[in-house]
């Protein structure tokens, strides 16, 4: 059997499974748990691991039958989409797996030819790990070959520092004594992404002098800014020095009494989304305090209703129904802003999001076409949605396409708040704690069940009058829930 045939057979026998894009264009996922180990037998469709993306935790099935040959990453590792995470021997009866012919010679040929061991990755998600090693440019006809010092000089220019003087005799590069001197600068080249390299060049910072803090010794943007801070402090322009100097007190940390937790997965995505929403959509928040005594009595009656037997009936259910009826009366609030076309998109459906606190962070799954559902249907889907979210099993599809959201801060004993819009949505309603308070009812001060509602909305889509009418209608329904019938 020829070396080429043996290599092909080896490749067909060991099947590699790459991290898929499990959630609408996400670029990475964290491996939470492996359900198999090297040597375990697996079958097509068997779940081998659980990963967490920026949206949810997802279980990944293996598409091969065979024996696990290798797990390429440990639990807790964040892996780019398109990277091989597990290898499976699909023909374990053929004996031990050896090195494919020709692999040992590959490193020596990598500088002159295209590497044969490169693994394809998904378009738009960066290069595979092996692509970090550059191969030499092919010589063009009629163009003299460049020496290794010249290449190192060009690379030095990209890194932001001056290029070394060119060697007097380019022919000396292949000679054994000169080879190590040409290779060392490439091997010790600081690790940084192209935008970071450009930033360092713009600021006049030599990446070789920057202390990296990123994973694997990668230089980050903050590292470059930190290296630039001393230079700015020494500059004569005093007004510009004030901002960096105020941010600098890094030495104030007491490591013995502090702990650090990396922000990733759902928490990282939530933080980024909230910052983007707060500084993109102009928020307006309005408040109203309302007597919900009649609503609380209706909740108790519905719990005894045979049509709702086995369903979770609580004040949130009627708040959700009141929100949907109010939107039906004011359909213009159910809209989205299209930044690309500078248009307002009005929607004839309501996907009602419910903010749920989970061990992995805040999740906002939504009930599709909630406005078209009956009260028992809404109760059923609301119960399933919250239960699934708390178990961390919410799918990315369940969290996409929301139009408005409810957040129930009252369960924590909080009276009210100023909620931030879920990105892409027009409004979010915060429901405060329902408490027994003195209230003027029929001309007399009596103890009544009272709560405060807060409605935040995107002022590009909803003006003050429309937002006020929406909130007033929600309060009116909760004050007299029979309006669910007359208005619905």
Residue 311, token pair as written in the block: 């369903």
**Distance separating alpha carbons of residues 359 and 377, to the nearest angstrom:** 27
Radius of gyration for the alpha carbons in the chain, expressed in angstroms and rounded? 31
* Residues forming beta bridges with residue 439, ordered by sequence position: 446
- Give the chain's end-to-end CA distance (angstroms, integer): 77
**Distance separating alpha carbons of residues 172 and 184, to the nearest angstrom:** 16
The alpha carbon of 375 is separated from its chain's Cα centroid by a whole number of angstroms, namely 34
**Distance separating alpha carbons of residues 324 and 386, to the nearest angstrom:** 18
Catalytic residue chosen out of the listed positions 10, 161, 441, 459: 459
**Distance separating alpha carbons of residues 259 and 278, to the nearest angstrom:** 28
Furthest-apart CA pair in the chain: how many Å?
102
Match 């239960």 to its residue by tokens: 387
Residue 22, token pair as written in the block: 């499990």
Note whether 454 and 285 are within 8 A (CB): yes
Residue 222, token pair as written in the block: 């903050």
What is the pairing mode between strands 404-408 and 427-431? parallel
Note whether 26 and 54 are within 8 A (CB): yes
In the residue annotation, 69 being an active-site residue is answered as no
Residue 254 has phi, psi (to 5 degrees) of: -110, 90
Note whether 265 and 30 are within 8 A (CB): yes
Length of the chain: 488
**Distance separating alpha carbons of residues 26 and 24, to the nearest angstrom:** 6
**Distance separating alpha carbons of residues 221 and 212, to the nearest angstrom:** 10
User: Helices (DSSP H) in 119-211: which residue ranges?
Assistant: 148-159, 178-187, 194-203
Catalytic residue positions?
459
């Amino acid at each position: 059997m020829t070396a080429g045939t043996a290599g092909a057979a080896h490749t067909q026998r060991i099947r590699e499974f790459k991290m898929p894009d499990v959630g609408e264009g996400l670029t990475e996922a964290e491996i939470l748990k492996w359900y198999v180990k090297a040597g375990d037998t697996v079958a097509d469709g068997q779940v081998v691991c659980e990963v967490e993306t920026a949206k949810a935790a997802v279980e990944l099935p293996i598409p091969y039958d065979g024996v696990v040959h290798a797990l390429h990453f440990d639990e807790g590792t964040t892996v780019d989409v398109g990277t091989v995470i597990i290898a499976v021997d699909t023909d374990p009866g053929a004996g031990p797996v050896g090195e494919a012919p020709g692999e040992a010679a590959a490193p020596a040929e990598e500088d002159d030819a295209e590497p044969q061991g490169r693994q394809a990755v998904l378009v738009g998600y960066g290069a595979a790990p092996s692509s970090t090693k550059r191969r030499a440019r092919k010589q063009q006809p009629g163009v003299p070959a460049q020496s290794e010092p010249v290449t190192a000089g060009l690379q030095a220019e990209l890194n932001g520092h001056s290029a070394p003087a060119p060697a007097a005799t380019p022919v000396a590069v292949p000679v054994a004594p000169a080879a190590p001197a040409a290779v060392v600068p490439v091997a010790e080249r600081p690790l940084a992404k192209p935008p970071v390299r450009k930033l360092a060049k713009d600021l006049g910072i030599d990446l070789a002098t920057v202390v990296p803090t990123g994973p694997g010794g990668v230089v980050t943007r903050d590292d470059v800014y930190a290296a630039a801070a001393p230079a700015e402090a020494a500059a004569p322009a005093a007004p510009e020095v004030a901002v960096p100097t105020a941010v600098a007190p890094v030495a104030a940390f007491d490591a013995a009494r502090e702990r650090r937790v990396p922000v990733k997965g759902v928490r990282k995505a939530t933080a980024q989304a909230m910052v983007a929403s707060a500084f993109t959509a102009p928020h307006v928040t309005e408040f109203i305090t309302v007597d919900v005594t009649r609503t609380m009595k209706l909740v108790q009656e519905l719990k005894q209703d045979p049509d709702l037997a086995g369903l979770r009936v609580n004040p949130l259910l009627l708040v959700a129904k009141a929100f949907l009826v109010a939107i039906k009366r004011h359909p213009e609030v159910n809209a989205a802003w299209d930044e690309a076309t500078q248009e307002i998109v009005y929607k004839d459906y309501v996907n009602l999001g419910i903010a749920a606190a989970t061990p992995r962070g805040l999740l906002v799954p939504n009930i599709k076409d909630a406005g078209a559902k009956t009260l028992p249907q809404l109760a059923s889907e609301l119960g399933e949605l919250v239960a699934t979210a708390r178990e961390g099993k919410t799918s990315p599809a369940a969290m996409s396409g929301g139009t408005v959201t409810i957040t129930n801060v009252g369960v924590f004993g909080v009276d009210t708040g100023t909620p931030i819009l879920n990105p892409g949505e027009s409004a979010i309603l915060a429901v405060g704690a329902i408490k027994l308070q003195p209230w003027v009812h029929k001309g007399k001060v009596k103890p009544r069940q009272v709560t405060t509602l807060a409605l935040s909305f995107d002022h590009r889509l909803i003006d003050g009058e429309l937002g006020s009418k929406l909130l007033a209608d929600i309060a009116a329904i909760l004050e007299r829930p029979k309006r669910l019938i007359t208005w619905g």
